[in-house]
Structure 1
Amino acid sequence: MRLKLIPDDTKFDFFKASKIWLGISAFLIVLALVSVSIRGLNFGIDFRGGTTIRTESAQPVDIAGYRDAVAALDLGDVTITEIFDPTFRPDQNVAMIRIQAQDDTEAVSQDLINAVEGALQAAVPDIKFVSVESVGPKVSGELIKTAAIAVVLAIAAVLVYIWLRFEWQFAVGAVVALIHDVALTIGIFSEVGIRFDLAIIAALLTIVGYSLNDTVVVFDRVRENLRKYKQMPLKDVLNLSINETLSRTLMTSGTTLIALIALLVLGGDVIRGFVFAMTWGVIVGTYSSIFVASALLLRLGVKRDWTKSGPKNTGNKFADIDA
């Protein structure tokens, strides 16, 4: 006997409150944009330029003592943060020291790094310098521009792909869902204040691919059912298609979240930002595939004659997996 978490014959009406869900999504997007414009993002060294020094010591981190040690060097904006992680040993006290990019300097000099390390060594004799990362102001500016272009090009490529494979209505629904996912992910980073660096850009691009995969599976089943039920109202076709793929959607998202939550708890602070972005992205991506992309498709309408396009059973290889 097979265990079924989701019955085969679910008949949920996903469009009963579609206006409310779309309204909530629109509100959250506006809230995310307002948060980014007012609070900004906690850019890492990749995007701000400067130097990050990660330290370890057996003594508890004294942020005021660390700050006094480097104050005499007149380095400008210096941020010192103690890192907490359940995987650390009792005698493993970790701090992150961020030094702003120095004016007219393409790369922070080794002499400056040596001076900071020497000052900290004098204050905390057993301190160890685990890693040092430096990025010049010009390089960080180019990285911001390149990262933005990468995300925009990825979404544009999705628009073209869906348009060619389906119809423009499907493309608009899919792209709006992707913009929804990216905007909410950036917004939560602004609100929470988690460091935003190149790893997060990689997470955003991964979220785009994950959300697109979910959306395409649903759209493939919609197209198949439009051929099969030519007289059925579009709303009923969409509801039927989402219910038929619901098992696959929840199984995929659920198993992915299990792995991500394990990494979030046990993976350590180095990858925590990336894993947090992925976890949030899987949740909003699953939501948007059902409540945003399909709801927009219902409002835009779609052609009912698919007899001239696409092979049979396209894209449904994994749509009938039991959950």
Structure 2
Amino acid sequence: MSRLGSMGARLYRGEVGYDFVGKRMIWYGVSILITITAIVGLAVQGLNMGIEFKGGVVITTPRTSVSVDDARHAVEEASGHPAIVQGLGDGELRIQISDVDTAEANKIKTELADDLKVDENQLNADLVGPSWGEQIANKAWTGLGIFMVLVVVYLAIAFEWRMAVAALIALIHDLTITVGIYALVGFEVTPGTVIGLLTILGYSLYDTVVVFDGLKEASKDITKQTRWTYSEIANRSLNSTLVRSINTTVVALLPVAGLLFIGGGFLGAGMLNDISLSLFVGLAAGAYSSIFIATPLVADLKERDPRMKALKKRVLAKRAQDAEKGPSDGGPTEGPDGYEPQDTEDGDTAPAGAVVGQRRQPTRGRGKRR
């Protein structure tokens, strides 16, 4: 078994673990700082809206020997507007010019044909009106609103309203960070970006729902025991799915990173940046929020329930009573957090406070000899 696989098995059995929920104030502070940075970047720099949203003309040229930089200079001199020029392969060019009308587009097309030394009739010019982009934006906002309402309703029915609220906050957190990074990086926002943002919504919720499902099972009849509080059980569920969340996120990020850094960076296919950046940032933010935001928020909300408050008092009282007895008086050998040290597969003993999984597993080979 690989080292990561062995670690995942030990996390699942509760032999090792990390107190994510107990240190939630640290994660909240980090998330607030990142979110504020994203909002400030969005407010100061704004989004670099593509031609589909601002309106303009898209000109496709036939095969030409003119370089991308020379074509950009020629277009900007002819139009007086910033231009985006991309190579399409076989010497063809795709030129985007924003904020121009039909008359300006025809003039630019004529001058560009002379500069590129091509026939004007071979230049394909498509005029894009800003109303089309506005319709896309409105439909995207409508789809986003409907999606969030359905998510909240479904999670409230399948789990409970506290989990629905926590998932919604984590989702807004992921979208805010993704949009803020778009503003800071300056990538162009196109319909591909909108598609990427809508796509990450499902990925953002995937790991969160997996943890919530395990937490729902682990917290059944929780008030009938006095060993763990709700936060501790939430932390156990989170640790048991930690390696799975990391594996699925890394596998999903690898092809997206190929699109972003290789396709968009080295190969210069700028159109890949539109969707790949939103997917890359959204997937990473979704994995982060499922571990450090959603589950700790559920624990915070749940601990305010009178039943969970009463449970916590009973658990702490039980631990204080056991601590007074001590091992010599027949009390359990539990750590300061109420967790019993467990033997690992390697024969080591995990720290008492780090154990967040199941109770001591049955030891093989200790049965009576026949």
Which structure: greater helix fraction?
2
Partner of 1:214: 207
- Asked if 1 retains the 8 angstrom alpha-carbon contact of 2:144 and 2:198, the reply is yes
Bigger drift between 43-52 and 2-11 goes to: 2-11
Q: What letter matches 1:79 in structure 2? A: P
**Shift in Å at residue 179 of structure 1?**
0.3
Q: CA deviation at 1:37?
A: 2.4
Q: Give the corresponding residue for 1:245.
A: 241
**Structure 2-normalised TM-score?**
0.70
Deviation track 1:109-158 (CA, whole Å, cap 9, x = no partner) reads 4x754442221110111599787553313333232222222222212211
Report the AA paired with residue 224 of structure 1. Answer: E
Correspondence for 1:286: 287
Instruction: Work out whether residues 109 and 123 of structure 2, in 8 Å CA contact, stay in contact via their aligned partners in 1.
Output: no
* Mapped partners of 1:43, 1:25: distance in 2: 26
- Structure 1, unmatched stretches of 5+, are 72-77, 103-108, 306-323
Aligned with residue 182 of structure 1, among 175, 182, 193: 175
Partner of 1:28: 34
Report the Cα offset of residue 249 of structure 1.
Answer: 0.8
Q: Secondary structure at the match of 1:182?
A: helix
Q: Is the 8 A contact 1:70 1:119 kept in 2?
A: no
1:252 is displaced (CA, Å) by 0.8
Alignment TM-score, normalising by the size of structure 1: 0.79
Q: Matches of 1:179 and 1:132 in 2, distance apart?
A: 39
Residue 54 of structure 2 is matched in structure 1 by 48
Q: Deviations over 1:283-321 (max 9, x none)?
A: 00000011111111111016789xxxxxxxxxxxxxxxx
| Aligned with residue 156 of structure 2, among 158, 163, 166 | 163
Identity among equivalent positions (%) equals: 30
Partners of 2:125 and 2:254 in 1: how far apart? 33
1:124 pairs with 2:108:
no
Q: CA RMSD in A?
A: 2.8
2:196 touches 2:279 (CA, 8 Å); kept in 1? yes
Tell me: CA distance 1:115–1:217, structure 2 relative to 1, closer, same or farther (3 Å): same
Distance 1:162 1:96, change over 3 A: same
Paired residues for 1:108-147 under 5 Å:
109=102, 113-125=105-117, 132-147=125-140
Judge conservation of contact 1:151–1:204 (CA < 8 Å) in 2. Answer: no
Q: Which moved further from structure 2: 187-196 or 41-50?
A: 41-50
Query: Residues 285, 119 of structure 1: CA spacing in aligned structure 2 closer, same or farther, 3 A cutoff?
Result: same
**Once the 2 structures are TM-superposed, how far is the Cα of residue 271 of structure 1 from its aligned partner?**
2.0
What are the Cα deviations for residues 71-115 of structure 1, in whole angstroms up to 9, with x where unaligned? 5xxxxxx2223448xxx87x848563313153xxxxxx4x75444
1:57 Cα deviation after fit: 3.6
Q: Distance in 1 between matches of 2:302 and 2:287?
A: 22
1-structure distance, mates of 2:278, 2:240: 29
Number of residues of Structure 1 aligned to a counterpart in Structure 2: 288
Q: Distance in 1 between matches of 2:206 and 2:123?
A: 39
Partner of 2:324: none
Separation in 2 of the partners of 1:92 and 1:17? Answer: 56
5 Å matches for 1:1-323?
1=1, 4-5=4-5, 6-10=7-11, 11-55=17-61, 57-60=64-67, 61-62=69-70, 63-71=72-80, 78-83=81-86, 92=91, 94=93, 96-102=95-101, 109=102, 113-125=105-117, 132-227=125-220, 230=223, 231=225, 232-264=228-260, 265-266=262-263, 268-301=269-302
**SS of the counterpart of 1:144?**
helix
Indicate the SS of the match to 1:98: strand
Query: For 1:2-25, what per-residue CA distance to the aligned partner results, in whole angstroms no more than 9, with x for missing partners?
Result: 674443122121124311211221
Q: Which amino acid aligns with 1:288?
A: S
Where does structure 2 lack aligned partners over 5 or more consecutive residues? 12-16, 309-370
Larger gyration radius, structure 1 or structure 2: 2
Alignment check: 8 A CA contact 1:222 1:237 kept: yes
Q: Is the alpha carbon distance of 1:64 and 1:159 closer, same or farther for their aligned partners in structure 2, counting shifts above 3 Å?
A: same
- CA distance, structure 1, for counterparts of residue 125 and residue 157 of structure 2: 47
In structure 2, what residue type is equivalent to 1:99?
S
